[in-house]
Amino acid sequence: MTMVEQTEMHPSRWGDPARATALPDTARGLIEMVFGLDERPALEDVKVPASAIDPALLAELAGTLGAEHVLTDDATRRLRTRGKSTPDLLRQRSGDLSDAPDAVVRPASHDDVAAVLDWAVQHHVAVVPFGGGTSVTGGLAARRDGFAGLVSLDLIRMKRLLEVDHTSMTATLEPGLRGPEAEALLEAEGLTLGHYPQSFEYATIGGFAATRSSGQSSAGYGRFDALVVGLRLATPRGEVSLGSAPANAAGPDLRQLFLGSEGAFGVITAVTVRVRRLPAQKLYEGWRWPSFVEGAAAMRTLAQAGLLPTVIRLSDESETAINLARPDEIGGQSTGGCMMITGYEGEPDAVAAKRAAVTSVLEGIGGQSLGEEPGASWAKGRFDAPYLRDSLLDVGVLVETLETATFWSDMDALYDGVKTALTESLGEGTMVLCHISHVYETGCSLYFTVAQKAAEDSLAQWLAAKAAACDAITEVGATITHHHAVGTDHKPWLSAEIGDLGVSVLRAVKADLDPTGVLNPGVLIP
């Protein structure tokens, strides 16, 4: 298979540079009224720190990978610096590239990855696996002190569909495939994975597995970790290959140990996933609820009745009021109340049957159908909102998102606790919007979007607010992350969630698999 040419993201913005836009007029008016406009262009002409690794070491690696795949030029290293959280963007925008790797190395196979790890161990070089670079938790900002250098292990050349089993309905994919690339390869086989996080256009199969990502259709297809049936990894101690049966009782499920391991235990070189037949029909629609509480209760009713659609999400009153569920129309006329989006994917008969059953339940408990138009509008703009963040940063508005999850009985306390913490930290006029993004029988995930006028030091402003929100999450006993992973940003709260003994287990696994600690030092494990 030939390598797919991929568009690189702008180093200090989200997504395809060609799709970068100014604020839409409706949003601009709203922003001017609420926060005022304060143009803050990003620095374009920034200096990348010189590569600090001994060229003789790289020459050795070039012998294995080919010189064209061991890169030290500034442009390449800048593109592999950090991820895409707002703090990452603020640092990049201000010209802080202190986390730039010394080199970017591009293996083409499992054996190449293993060879890079052998080399890294031998010379004590830190290695940061790089998939799509969409981390929002500092997962790519590894510690470099004490190492002979730090290299970004870029999986961009590992983009093959290795195997399809139409009988078992599984497919084995290489880690560097971005969402659309993986879907295109599967579509040619009449199949789909159905994993659509908002970062779908850039994030990769390896990254989904390494972070335990969850997509917008998780109610129907499942979160990514639920889709994985097998994994292959290269570690400094050798190969790990897991997934000999769909389920097993052969001790603890080690697949779960490596899912979410964020490059700290090994490099994922192949992922076997459960796949579905391409849906013949996709249908999305809108519902209006008088309040967030009533909409959430409706979601719980559906989940506990085993009646979840493929997509289900509910915006709170504030998010509905500014139309965030419909990025084309932010600041425009909203429906009032709370907007819910439901979506159905599958064979027409199955779609019709599920839709009828869901409609009957929702109408019976106070939901008002808004028809297909709001659903189609959400589906059309579902990957656009991240571009808005850059436009807002450009006019001096600090904007960021965070997510968590809890059981239904604690949802109200979590919602109130996070909102209060963010508002108290960021001050009067803070906009805190929320939606329920993922739903289970036992609970749900809350996803917050926050906006406030940027202070002079907007990075410090956000880090203080985020710490306050994380403290509030921990106090309620909710998870520090439902799908964004731990990275470096959530590390201080991990032991509150899994206990000191839990952290010690992770350290022991790391010590066994990566005794010299070259893999993503400082990421995941406190």
Residues 214, 423, 452, 461: which binds ligand FAD (CB under 6 A)? 214
SS3 string of 2-62?
A: CCCCCCCCCCCCCCCHHHCCCCCHHHHHHHHHHCCCCCCCCCCCCCCCCCCCCHHHHHHHH
Among positions 36-55, residues that touch ligand FAD (CB under 6 A) are none
Residues 114, 150, 191, 203: which binds ligand FAD (CB under 6 A)? 203
SS3 string of 335-388?
A: CCCEEEEEEEEECHHHHHHHHHHHHHHHHHCCCEEEEHHHHHHHHHHCCCHHHH
Residues 263, 375, 417, 443: which binds ligand FAD (CB under 6 A)? 263
Q: Is 128 in the site for ligand FAD (CB under 6 A)?
A: yes
CA of residue 4 relative to chain centroid, distance: 22
Residues 11, 101, 139, 381: which binds ligand FAD (CB under 6 A)? 139
Q: Which of 137, 309, 324 is nearest to 213 (CA)?
A: 137
Binding mask 81-110 for ligand FAD (x = CB under 6 A): --xx--------------------------
Residue 6 or 301 having the CB closest to ligand FAD: 6
Q: Is 490 in the site for ligand FAD (CB under 6 A)?
A: no
Question: Could you please report the per-residue DSSP string of 384-437?
Answer: THHHHHHHHHHTTEEEEEEEEEEEGGGHHHHHHHHHHHHHHHH-TT-EEEEEEE
Please give the Cα distance from 180 to 235 (Å, whole number). Answer: 28
Residues 35, 119, 147, 208: which binds ligand FAD (CB under 6 A)? 208
Q: What does each C-alpha distance from 318 to 324, 335, 338, 344, 436 come to in angstroms?
A: 9, 12, 8, 26, 13
Taking the complex as a whole, how short is the minimal distance between the CB of residue 261 and ligand FAD, in angstroms?
Answer: 7
Note whether 52 and 102 are within 8 A (CB): yes
The residue nearest ligand FAD at its CB is 207
Residue 260 or 337 having the CB closest to ligand FAD: 260
Q: Is 130 in the site for ligand FAD (CB under 6 A)?
A: yes
Number of residues this chain uses to bind ligand FAD (CB under 6 A):
38
Among the residue ranges 185-193, 305-313, 410-418, 482-490, the one whose residues contact ligand FAD (CB under 6 A): 482-490
Q: Is 386 in the site for ligand FAD (CB under 6 A)?
A: yes
In whole angstroms, how large is the CA radius of gyration of the chain?
23
Q: Is 483 in the site for ligand FAD (CB under 6 A)?
A: yes
Residue 401 or 495 having the CB closest to ligand FAD: 401
Residues 76, 92, 192, 198: which binds ligand FAD (CB under 6 A)? 198
CA of residue 131 relative to chain centroid, distance: 12
Query: For binding to ligand FAD (CB under 6 A), which residues are involved?
Result: 14, 83-84, 128-136, 139-140, 155, 175, 197-199, 203-204, 206-208, 210-211, 213-214, 262-263, 267-268, 386, 483-485, 520, 523
